[in-house]
A and B are shown apart, each in its own frame.
Chain A
Amino acid sequence: MKQSASKPQSLAKPKRRSWHKLSKTLTNYSFVLPAAIFLLFFIAYPVFFNIRISFQDLKAINLLSGDAPWVGLANYRKVLANPVFLQAARNTLVFTSGSIVFQLLFGLGLALFYNIEFPGNKIMRGLYLIAWTIPIIVVTSIFRWLLDGQAGVVNWLLLSLGLISEKISWLSNIDLALPALIFINVWLGIPFNMALLLAGLQGIPKELYEAASIDGASRVSKLRFITLPMLRPALIAVFLLGLIYTFKVFDLVWATTQGGPFNATHLVSTVAFRAIFSQFLFGEGAAMLNLLFIVLFGISLLYLWNLQNEEQN
């Protein structure tokens, strides 16, 4: 106090200003700090935790104390030699590609349809999103009932149409369970694909179509030379997002088949969940999740890179 008072005023002033500046900076940081701490504690730390325990031999006994022996890459070696994991990896690829192809096709078809104006269009296209709002566990209950081997409506429909000759237990059939899950996931994904593609379609300037009409372009050539090229950014974004969302699907499969019958529907996420929460193989489960994470991270980078490119154009 005494010291600052004895100093000449010309020196004291900038000091006060810098104090003012510091408090302003602190105030600025006070806006982001709570969220940043939360992200650090609940996102960054869990990711680090999974990486750490994937190099440890962690069991139920030493889970809470945390002092498990280090085992290097042993967990990864075990996982990559585990036939169930390899099957799950294959299943994940099949599940993802099957889901994406059909979601995009149906989504694009519906988006093109609802891009035409007609009475009731807006209300009806919004209602598709109901599928997207309800809990997954509810969705899986409904579809287990629809696909039921005895009284399921799907069996009745296919029998009446003469497409199958006897009732099928879809979800307990080794060859059909995974396609059945893809069917459910496509139903879930259609609204999302449709909504995003529709937003993309509505961003295409109307003048382009008017000009093309004056030039006498047919409907097909308009679709081919205006709509699809203009929709490319939205299509790429929806494709990459679909890839990310489908790769990490867990509850849909876990609640429907729990990976069965005979591991036919295990995905990487469900096999990892089983390893951790039913078999207590924490290290191996974490290794599986990290492998999945690396793939997802790669796709995410691709998505962000694409987003940045689009913004620059």
Chain B
Amino acid sequence: MLRKRKYLLTVLSLVMLAIFLFPIYWMIITALKPQATIFAYPPQFFPRQIDWSIWRTVLERTNVALYLKNSSIVGFGTTFLTLILAAPAAYGVAQLPIKGKGAIILVSLSSLMFPVVMLATPLFVIFSQLSLTDSYIGLIFANTAISLPFALVVLRPFFLSLPRELSEAASIDGCSAWGAFIRIMLPLAVPGLVTAGVFTFLFGWNDLVFAITLTNNDQFRPITAGLWTFIGRNNTDWNGVMAFSTLAMLPPLLVFLIAQRYVVSGLTAGSVK
């Protein structure tokens, strides 16, 4: 009896999840339907016929492949730069006797709170002066400005939880401070690094504000800005917009599915602790 009730909850949960994720299903299904059946009334919830032709159109007539490449470079570049800056800093703030720790933590926490748009103008001006607009480096720097504070906030507790005696013991054994950090501390902080890395990648991939303010040239446009332009030109071509959107969504979705448990722990680590 009790067992039966539990399975009832499973069914209920499935129904709720299906309703919640319906928008995503609808996007994919729209991109797989023949153009003519998209506007069918009542809507076809299960397509009677699969039509891949829009995918070829989108891949051939737009720069979507280039955008995907750009987003990958920006996403991974941001992740790399963020981790390389954040990991030693988080370790230093958590374990080393340093003045100004409080200031770094305060700046990190408060910059989590302020709007991305606030960075967009100053960075646009600075990057125009340095000719960093329309470049990967510019986008990577801009996205790192958003993700570095977050990575610091996520990583600090990880390093706080590692015993200080470890690095002390290593330095007695003749390891330099950096040697001890790289050989002993970093391997122990891998879960934290993955969490921060996954979030950073998602920030970088999903960013729209910097993508549309810092790039004009298709050669450097990330997929979000590419989709933005595509929508501007093909506003009611739902077939195409949904195919394009599906492509833009797949990489972050994949990252999420692979690193799901880190995402959950990062969400809680970054806020309630």
- A-to-B contact residues, CB < 8 Å: 24, 27-32, 34-36, 38-39, 42-47, 49-50, 53, 63-64, 110, 113-114, 116-121, 124-131, 133-139, 141-143, 145-146, 148, 150-151, 153, 156, 160, 187, 190, 192, 195-196, 199-200, 233-234, 237-238, 241, 244, 247-248, 250-251, 254-255, 269, 272-273, 276-277, 282, 285-286, 289, 292-293, 296-297, 299-300, 303-304, 307
Contacts and interface: CB of A to CB of B under 8 A. Distances in A.
A24 B177 CA distance: 8
Contact of A145 (B26, B115, B129): B26
B104 A46 contact: no
A248 B114 contact: yes
Interface in B165-224: 176-178, 181, 202, 205-206, 208-209, 213, 223-224
17 contacts: A28-B97, A31-B98, A35-B85, A36-B104, A49-B126, A64-B129, A119-B10, A126-B260, A131-B21, A134-B252, A135-B208, A135-B252, A138-B249, A248-B115, A272-B117, A297-B110, A299-B113
Contact of B98 (A29, A118, A255): A29
Q: Bin the interface of chain B by size.
A: 35 or more
Contacts of A45: 122, 126
B253 to A, nearest CB: 6
B119 A42 contact: yes
B87 to A, nearest CB: 9
B110 to A, nearest CB: 6
B41 interface: yes
Interface string B139-157: 0011011001100100000
B97 A119 contact: no
A196 B241 CA distance: 33
A27 B178 contact: yes
B39 interface: yes
Nearest to A126: B260
B43 A138 contact: no
Interface string B97-127: 1101100100111111111111111110110
Contact of A31 (B40, B181, B273): B181
A190 B100 CA distance: 37
Interface string B1-39: 000001101100110110011011011001000000011
Given A133-B252, A153-B26, A195-B264, A42 B145 contact: yes
A273 B88 CA distance: 35
A118 B120 CA distance: 46
A123 to B, nearest CB: 9
User: Dominant SS at the A interface?
Assistant: helix
B194 to A, nearest CB: 15
Contacts of A50: 118, 121-122
B97 A289 contact: no
Contacts of B111: 39, 43
Given A47-B118, A282-B121, A135 B206 contact: yes
Contacts of B245: 137-138, 141-142
Given A31-B96, A156-B41, A39 B115 contact: no
A266 B36 CA distance: 35
A156 B104 contact: no
B52 interface: no
Contacts, number: 276
B121 A151 contact: no
Given A145-B242, A241-B271, A248-B114, A138 B248 contact: yes
B89 interface: yes
Given A64-B129, A126-B260, A39 B98 contact: no
B92 A119 contact: no
Interface string B228-241: 10010000001001
B50 to A, nearest CB: 19
Sorted nearest first, the 6 A-B pairs with minimum C-beta distance are A31-B92, A35-B89, A46-B122, A248-B115, A42-B145, A118-B9
B6 A43 contact: no
Given A118-B10, A199-B268, A296-B113, A137 B228 contact: yes
B224 A137 contact: yes
Contacts of A137: 208, 224, 227-228, 231, 245, 248
B256 A129 contact: yes
A133 B110 contact: no
Nearest to B244: A141
Nearest to B202: A133
A238 B270 CA distance: 12
Contacts of B119: 42-43, 46
A111 to B, nearest CB: 12
